[in-house]
Amino acid sequence: MEMQEQSNRDQLVPMDSGQGARKQGGNGSEDWVQSLERLMENAVDVGRFQIKFTSTLDVNGGFMLPPAKVEALLQITQETFNNIIKHSKAGSVRINVMQNRSGIILYIFDDGDGFDLHQVKKRSGLANIYAEATRFNGMVDIITAPGYGCSVTVLIPYD
């Protein structure tokens, strides 16, 4: 299935210390947006669902995130995709990346099966999402119910 994208790379803000968004990877530095796009493409290939991606980041805002926080956002996205692929039977996924005065907000919603949040094991992938966010004093909000899909909202503060 094909990934739907509603923003272009120019709308996304560099997110590291000054030289643009860079993440150290096995083959050198990668643009964080390219890493996010690669995660989405891989998830579409493996999960057989469509992704709608939007971003309302202010490119003129001049904010930056340290590389460790960018990596945390990528890890949270990967873990969420893993959960969607393994458990949700989703047909479509929406991803929004936004900002407010506090930090970067990552919102991921799937239209899959949903689940009872209280029945999930504490050692699950959701625990990894909470751990990554709280490592940077971030917040996680998960809303789901059987038959109603799942939304994961994460705020990673600037400082």
Phi first, then psi: give them for residue 47, nearest 5 degrees.
-90, -15
pLDDT for 22 equals 35
Architecture, CATH, for domain 4-157: 2-Layer Sandwich (3.30)
Nearest to 20 by CA among 29, 28, 134: 29
Each residue's pLDDT, cut to its tens digit, for the chain (159 residues) gives 333 333 333 222 333 322 233 333 332 224 666 788 888 888 888 877 899 988 887 655 555 678 899 899 999 999 999 999 999 999 999 999 888 888 999 999 999 999 999 888 766 889 999 999 999 999 999 999 999 999 999 999 988
Q: pTM for this structure? A: 0.77
pLDDT for 105 equals 94
Distance between CA atoms of residues 17 and 33, nearest Å: 15
Contacts of 8 (CB under 8 A, 6+ apart): none
